[in-house]
Amino acid sequence: MSLVGTWMQRIGVGWLTWELTHSHAWLGLVAFADLFPSVFFGPLGGAIADRFDRLRIIRASQTLAMCQAATLFLLTWTGNIDMPLLFALVMFNGIVIGFNQPSRLAIISSLVPQQDLSTAVAINSIVFNLARFVGPALAGALIVSGGTAAVFGANALTFLAFLLALTRIRLPRIAPAAPELRRSLLGDVADGIRYTARHPGVGPLLLLLTINSMTVRPFVELLPGFAADVFHRGADGLAMMTSVIGGGAIVAGIWLARREGLRGLTRITLGSTILLSVSTLCFVASGWFPLGLACLAISGMGLVASGVTTQTLVQTAVDPRMRGRVLSLYGIIFRGGPAAGALVVGTFSDIIGLQLAMGIGATAGMVAWVWAWRRRRAMTAALEPPPA
């Protein structure tokens, strides 16, 4: 329920930005404000997640996010919203998520045994993308009938369901580090970065994710521009485009949830990465709405397959004492990369056109895939258990 509200708000924020500015650059700036704070606050969130009660951190973060949604609703409903206020509220939410995400990712290993981790991550992705399918459809209907304020109000209410669910979870408290072993938070952050850079599998995997997050993934944040300028559709068209991404993602998630073990996940990661780049390039080049929807569905499959397998491999390959910090870097890339990419692509789109700018990004993603494919054997050896 809460994720449905989250996707409703994403559509509402994107459409409200477009109504206020009609600017691709502003779409990129708002996406930047939402996603990029994780770059600064994610590492601290990871160090905190390795020290303190992750469940309590999640509860506090979700409460703050609910307050942000309620404020956004009140300002929009009363007609007092403008771009500076919208930008500030979106950035505040990005900061909250930056602290929340490392704990949310690291807590998965406390909820299920390791042999079920891949299935758990896939199921989590199914839930996320089912909301991606349902939320935009509801948002489109609410925007048409009640405006964007109704979307923000509905999102604020859905947080109550998640906060109630969090009160029902009981986890063993993580023992704090011994005083003589405890370092400063910044020292913990530095240790996590060094560990990741030196890991022969996690390092290249996250580098590939970084490049694709900045060059290919921003197409999602720029969908309002594609809906209006390329396909000449309104909020209903934007909702359909976002929903088909979620539909393709659900198909990929179900397939991954049925797999057992970790063998072959590196190859799936690389295959889904090139699938994402190719399908995105086809979407950018298409001018026919049904064909564009089909390409977006395939992109959704590649997006989730690469994300689920990457997260699973990182979760299982790292030292448990480093899990929160390494996953904070994963979260930085997953959120900050698209933010930086959307800002750059959105800015260049106002100069050279949205389709050409995004096409260049998809091509760059293919080049990065070639680099990673040549290193697949070393990555597989470092990330996956040896064959029985």
Is residue 136 very low, low, confident or very high in pLDDT (cuts 50, 70, 90)?
confident
- pLDDT score, position 22: 82
Asked if the structure places residue 100 within a domain, the reply is yes
Max distance between CA atoms of the chain, in angstroms, equals 64
- Is pLDDT of 184 > 70? no
- Is pLDDT of 176 > 60? no
- Is pLDDT of 142 > 70? yes
- pLDDT score, position 293: 92
Could you give the CA distance from residue 320 to residue 317 in angstroms, rounded to a whole number?
9
Give yes or no for a contact between 212 and 276, defined as CB atoms under 8 angstroms apart: yes
The number of folded domains in the chain is 1
- Is pLDDT of 114 > 80? no
Tokens found for residue 217:
């993934």
Give the residue-averaged pLDDT of 357-376.
Answer: 92
CA angle 267, 272, 275 (to 5 degrees): 130
Is residue 180 very low, low, confident or very high in pLDDT (cuts 50, 70, 90)?
very low
- pLDDT score, position 365: 92
Can you list the alpha helix ranges (DSSP code H) found in the chain? 2-21, 24-35, 37-49, 54-77, 83-106, 108-111, 117-146, 148-166, 185-198, 202-215, 223-225, 235-257, 265-285, 289-317, 323-352, 354-373, 376-383
Asked if the structure places residue 19 within a domain, the reply is yes
Could you give the CA distance from residue 349 to residue 369 in angstroms, rounded to a whole number?
24
- pLDDT score, position 388: 60
Burial class (CB in 10 A: 0-12, 13-18, 19+), 235: buried
Asked if the structure places residue 385 within a domain, the reply is no
Asked if the structure places residue 387 within a domain, the reply is no
**Structural domain for 347, as ranges:** 2-169+181-380
Asked if the structure places residue 174 within a domain, the reply is no
Tokens found for residue 371:
């680099």
Asked if the structure places residue 386 within a domain, the reply is no
Asked if the structure places residue 165 within a domain, the reply is yes
pTM for this predicted structure: 0.70
Is residue 64 very low, low, confident or very high in pLDDT (cuts 50, 70, 90)?
very high
Q: What residue type is assigned to position 189 of the chain?
A: V
SS3 231: coil
Residue 338 is part of a domain; what is its CATH number? Answer: 1.20.1250.20
* Structure confidence by residue, pLDDT tens digits, 247-299: 888 888 888 877 777 778 899 999 999 999 999 999 998 878 999 999 999 99
* Structure confidence by residue, pLDDT tens digits, 301-311: 998 888 888 88
Q: What's the chain's average pLDDT?
A: 83
